[in-house]
Structure 1
């Protein structure tokens, strides 16, 4: 009989790791960063609530052995300017690359950071991806 397993929410785990790690960082561009999986309801073009770090799941491929899943995480960062958006995106990726734990076992770089401008708000942003290996949770 095949093992019954679930794969935890990698985006939620990445948010938890980033909230803790970014709060402890001394870099000015990381100060006060909001981290989540969705845009805060109170955010608006007039009040962009910067910096903002969003983590989204771009795809998942469970391994046939059910011992590992590979997921692509997209990290998008809105900031006061492109340089700070870029730097915070790179810092977030670096923190996740070194944050192996019970859910996210390891990560490797994907694309980016790619600079841009939010078309709705005009706010500077940077986006990158990384691939994460996710540990299963056995069902009893």
Structure 2
């Protein structure tokens, strides 16, 4: 499990940029965030331009994200990309609603998992702003 304090910043000292995080295992799960999703955030830092965080997983394994994806201001475009042939699961969290502005699906399988108690995906359990865009790509 990768759990650095309670915040992971998406910041690369460059106006526009792409960063990647993921798992290289061919079986089993890798976890990013807290064990139960409470109060852990991945923050897209407000420094102007686009911030594309790519969640990548190889075939056979699963990457589990237990964190809020937070756009930290009006001068950043928060983008989350699911890439690679594996499975990436985004669990509902206790830190509040995620505010990603664009989702890119370029490979693999993305799973948005609701709250354990009721499976809910609304309110504090949503995974993007209401005006978010989605791009679908990839294929054979």
Q: Which has the higher helix share?
A: 1
State the TM-score bracket (shorter-chain normalisation).
Answer: under 0.3
Q: TM-score by structure 2 length? A: 0.25
Q: Which has the higher strand share?
A: 2
Which one has a bigger Cα radius of gyration? 1
Q: TM-score by structure 1 length? A: 0.25
Which structure exhibits the higher relative contact order, with contacts defined as CA atoms closer than 8 Å and separated by 6 or more residues? 1
